[in-house]
Structure 1
Amino acid sequence: MGPAWQWLLGAGILASVYWQPFPAHGDKSLGAPEAPCGQLSEALPAYRKITPTITNFALRLYKQLAAETSGNIFFSPVSISSTLALLSLGAQADTPAQILEGLGFNLTETPEADIHRGFQSLIHTLDLPSPKLELKVGNSLFLDTQLKPQQHFLGNIRELYWAFAFSVNFTDSNTTRRQINDFVKKQTYGQVVDFLEELTQDTLMVLLNYMFFKAKWKHPLSCYQTPKQESFFVDERTSLRIPMMHQKEVHRFLYDEEVACTVLQMEYSGNALALLILPDPGKMAQVEAALQPETLRKWDQLLLPR
């Protein structure tokens, strides 16, 4: 079947935005940060300036990863791009421009300040509370006690990315690893456990991004349906017998004869959706080559309820 892909481009969903000041050196408290005051006030959301670039970045990164592996691929372009953009705020000389240009931004058309305001707007929009689903996105920095971060850097990441920093002792790698893992476990409600397996003693910083998403399908599978054992094909030669469920429901759907794939859009309860793309047998490479922003726009216009 080849690599699988999926990404989050964002919708108006999520719980609260968090941040807290950089603690005093040696402070090992990793509690949840406080919620900031104030709201963004924009006639046209600033994130509209950066989401096309994030889409391009998502497709470029997927193709790069797909060329290097035959396994499954799962990543969030919002997480990766926002984390790198945050990191550029602490870089010097030509490095900030190189990071942002590596993400695909044209700094002549979109100045650095507009890019960071775009990410600020996007993160704020994702963090808007929703009664029907929960999406929680966060950034954190764990800095060794010997590092002396500049206050304007800490202020910028707090204001623009609602990121917060902790001072930790990386020479005690086991304790620090446990602190970071406990923090991630708490922020993801126990779903991500012991993700950081080891830390070397020469580590000076860990830049962390986490995402938690929970929602129900708008058209859920029947709770009275008994799963049936059927064949799931891992690849052309390998199959497994696993329990499967079936549904007959109205979803947006299309078959793209030119690209040779089936496209299915499934909605969650709330402002979120999943776009599933199934290549025709033997057409994975053709579908991958066709994955361009204009292809996604075309599909969005052609998908019809069926």
Structure 2
Amino acid sequence: MKRMGPVWLWLLGAGILASAHGEKSPGVPPAPRGQLSESAPTYHQITPTITSFALRLYKQLAAETPGNILFSPVSISSSLALLSLGAQADTSTQILEGLGFNLTETPQAHVHRGFQSLIHTLGLPSPKLELKVGHSLFLDKQLKPGQHFLAHTRELYGAFAFSVNFTDSAAAGRRMNDYVRKQTYGQVLGGLPELTEDTLMVLLNYIFFKAKWKHPFHGYQLQKPASLPEHARPSLRVPMMQQKAMHRFLYDQDAACTVLQIEHSGHALALLVLPDPGQMERVEAALQPETLRRWSRRFLPSLLDLHLPKFSISGTYHLEEILPHIGLTNIFNSEADLSSITGRLNRTISRVSHKAAMDMSEWGIKAGAASGLLSQPQSPKVTAAPHAHFNRPFLVLLWEVTTQSLLFLGKVVNPAAG
């Protein structure tokens, strides 16, 4: 008889980023829950917590990762919340509290309804933005998951359940990799941890993002490759895009960084955070929800001489080694009770893998060149425009504006690593 072994949880994020400057400043992140009106959408009960979780996770990754960092807070938090549906009371509470939820203030049912609202809203069709978020359960054919669990995961998270024969682990792996490839339009190929015949379950999440610059960089504005210094390594030579246009930005003297807000054609925007030379650790230490709220109030539009590298980065992490350091511990020990999924006691999560990918370039020129080009005459002020030269490591935060949710968070050290 097949030995009942570990449960694997695989979280996946894939994105394509192409953006431009904005005309207004959405509040990023949203106000704390206590300040929300009664009519606020349900997702606003969870997005501040997702942001706080993201910043905690980023700091842990930054302490252990010298190079590029990229992950999807929405992908990871929604998958762990879904997992809690299959856990008994104590384990479910530990998962959600580990994510940062105050279950006295926001009961578990409200948390799950919040994720339901978030996933539904992110999935609404838009002519200017491609955004897909999905969950799937691949369950070993020997498992007898509770029908209550399956019904709730489908209702709240839109999760599809598939029966898999993990005895043929190679075929199961090919099936899942093919599924991911199709859902992300080929952006993510491979990356699934090696399966074994002892695998019981894979909970898979994907997120795909694609948008155009609202005001694109045109091909003739691409500069020759420029240097982007990297810690303790020779300078890289990367293509730099250049644009003189109106942008919302600020300089934070306390955190020693320049922060640029740029919008997409669609309900999305990015924050690019450029530390002063040698000040990356100072900026990372200042990353708090209140810092993001303070920035959102201080952005001012100004003509900016922007130099931004094209980049392609990715991140792959074994989060079972990271999450215990930020409060998610008990799902990895023998006390965890996931019997609503596995049908058996003492079946713990042994692997939590996450992969994310992001590209930023002058993409979208043909579709957006006419409307995207800033129409104003050149003047002496143009030559005096302040500079934002991203020629050293910087942070990128990608937001969906309607829900105020942090889709991706990363650090660009080597723009060509992806």
- TM-score, length of structure 2 as denominator length: 0.62
CA distance in 1, matches of 2:135, 2:50: 18
Query: Which one of 79, 86, 92 corresponds to residue 88 of structure 2?
Result: 92
Q: Which residue of 1 aligns with 2:71?
A: 75
1:258 aligns with 2:254: yes
Q: Which amino acid aligns with 1:254?
A: L
1:167 aligns with 2:156: no
Q: Which residue of 2 aligns with 1:214?
A: 210
Query: Which one of 199, 207, 229 corresponds to residue 195 of structure 2?
Result: 199
Query: Which one of 106, 110, 121 corresponds to residue 110 of structure 1?
Result: 106
Write the deviation string for residues 272-304 of structure 1: whole angstroms up to 9, x where unpaired: 001011111111111111111111001001011
Q: Which residue of 2 aligns with 1:35?
A: none
1:226 to partner: Cα distance: 4.4
1:130 aligns with 2:126: yes
1:297 aligns with 2:293: yes
| Kept in 1: contact 2:221–2:243 (CA 8 A) | no
Tell me the SS of whatever aligns to 2:242.
Answer: coil
Is the deviation greater in 59-68 or in 237-246?
237-246
1:177 to partner: Cα distance: 0.3
Give the 5 Å matches for 1:31-46. Answer: 43-46=39-42
| Kept in 1: contact 2:55–2:288 (CA 8 A) | yes
RMSD over aligned Cα atoms: 1.6
Query: Which one of 130, 143, 148 corresponds to residue 147 of structure 1?
Result: 143
Tell me the SS of whatever aligns to 1:140.
Answer: strand
1:55 aligns with 2:61: no
CA distance in 1, matches of 2:151, 2:277: 52
User: Percent same amino acid at aligned positions?
Assistant: 73
Q: Which amino acid aligns with 2:292?
A: L
1:224 aligns with 2:231: no
Write the deviation string for residues 152-203 of structure 1: whole angstroms up to 9, x where unpaired: 1111001101111100000100100000011111111122112225212211
1:242 to partner: Cα distance: 2.3
Q: Which residue of 2 aligns with 1:285?
A: 281
1:271 aligns with 2:267: yes
Change (3 A) 1:125 1:301: same
1:258 to partner: Cα distance: 1.1
Write the deviation string for residues 96-141 of structure 1: whole angstroms up to 9, x where unpaired: 0000000001111110000000001111111111100101111111
Change (3 A) 1:290 1:197: closer
Q: Which residue of 1 aligns with 2:186?
A: 190
Bigger fraction of residues in strand: 2
Write the deviation string for residues 208-253 of structure 1: whole angstroms up to 9, x where unpaired: 0111111101111013334412112122542122222211111110
Query: Which one of 231, 235, 250 corresponds to residue 239 of structure 1?
Result: 235
Is the deviation greater in 236-245 or in 98-107?
236-245
Q: Which amino acid aligns with 2:202?
A: V
CA distance in 1, matches of 2:64, 2:232: 20
Gaps spanning 5+ residues in structure 2: where?
1-13, 16-37, 303-418
CA distance in 2, matches of 1:278, 1:238: 20
CA distance in 2, matches of 1:254, 1:284: 17
How many equivalent pairs are there? 267
Q: Which residue of 2 aligns with 1:19?
A: none
Q: Which amino acid aligns with 2:248?
A: R
| Kept in 1: contact 2:260–2:273 (CA 8 A) | yes
CA distance in 1, matches of 2:91, 2:222: 56
CA distance in 2, matches of 1:237, 1:182: 37
Tell me the SS of whatever aligns to 1:228.
Answer: coil
Tell me the SS of whatever aligns to 1:174.
Answer: helix
Instruction: Specify which structure has the bigger relative contact order, considering alpha-carbon pairs within 8 angstroms and separated by 6 or more residues.
Output: 2
Gaps spanning 5+ residues in structure 1: where?
1-6, 9-41
